Amino acid sequence: MVDPNSPMETQVQHWFYQTDFWNNNKEKIEFFPQFELGKYLRQLDHRYNHPAYKVDFLLIYSGENGEQHKIIIEYDGFYEHFKNIDMVNELNYWRYYSDEDIYREKVLESYGYRFLRINRFNVGKVPIQTLDRRLAKLVKLRKDNHEMVNNIHETIEGLTNGEMKECPKCKEIKKLDDFKDSSLISGIGRICKSCKGTKNHKKNTKNATSKSATESVVCPKCKTKGCKKIIIKPYMSTKGNSNDNPFSSGSTGCSGNCGGCCGCHG
């Protein structure tokens, strides 16, 4: 039961029961008004030596894989929870919470609880939608952070047991399968397949360019393009153009620059 001396707690409870978060997840949610969290924590942890805190609302949401999201929802009265009230506004209110509120929040957060604080500055023009959006964000944030931490742990474990390694070229950590190379004695290369693929692509492009250059040359002996006996060697013409045809323009014989078509010279 909500505190009868706090009209805003009744209002917050009314807002909560109209959110999509509640209506779409009723079977996954436990919702406790005026929960004596301090007493509960003292039963779990004999070292708990803080006040017997009571929270406005305790929400427990059971997500995927049985993971629990423990959220404390509180409405903060302006005069009860803020200091230097003449300086407080919607842009800086979070800086002026009382020292007792900050300490209380840090203590309860250390036990895995997160706070959703509502006050006159952040309630929003449509309180139900604002509360619904903030609840969904809290649950999603916890899920994303959990997945990120799991990925980090998996990467560290993979590097430790040799199932993963870093490619010195792209600097990415990948699974060992990405380094397999049957042409090597060890079967495992230093560079990942993706980077090797880029290297081989450049090499093939270079070979294709050389081949196309050969195929464009007409042999003066057999009058055939791409004669298999032509060996193109780099040379410099009198005009300084290294891409000139090695055969003299309009001549029927070799100019001597073809590089050795069988039978045309030397």
pLDDT tens for each residue of 54-92: 999 999 999 877 789 999 999 999 999 999 999 999 999
pLDDT of residue 218: 63
Confidence (pLDDT) at 98: 95
Long-range pairs for 138-141 at CB < 8 Å and ≥24 separation? 138/69, 138/71, 138/114, 139/61, 139/63, 139/69
Whether residue 240 has pLDDT greater than 70: no
SS3 per residue for 160-171: HHCCEEECCCCC
Question: Against a cut of 0.75, is the pTM above it?
Answer: no
Q: For 4-40, what is each residue's pLDDT tens digit? A: 888 999 999 999 999 999 999 999 999 999 999 999 9
Please name which of 220, 223, 224 lies closest in space to residue 252, comparing C-alpha atoms: 220
Mean pLDDT of 95-102: 95
| Domain spans, the chain | 7-154, 162-214, 216-266
> What is the structure's pLDDT at 56?
97
Q: What average pLDDT does range 138-154 have in this prediction?
A: 57
pLDDT higher than 80, residue 200: no
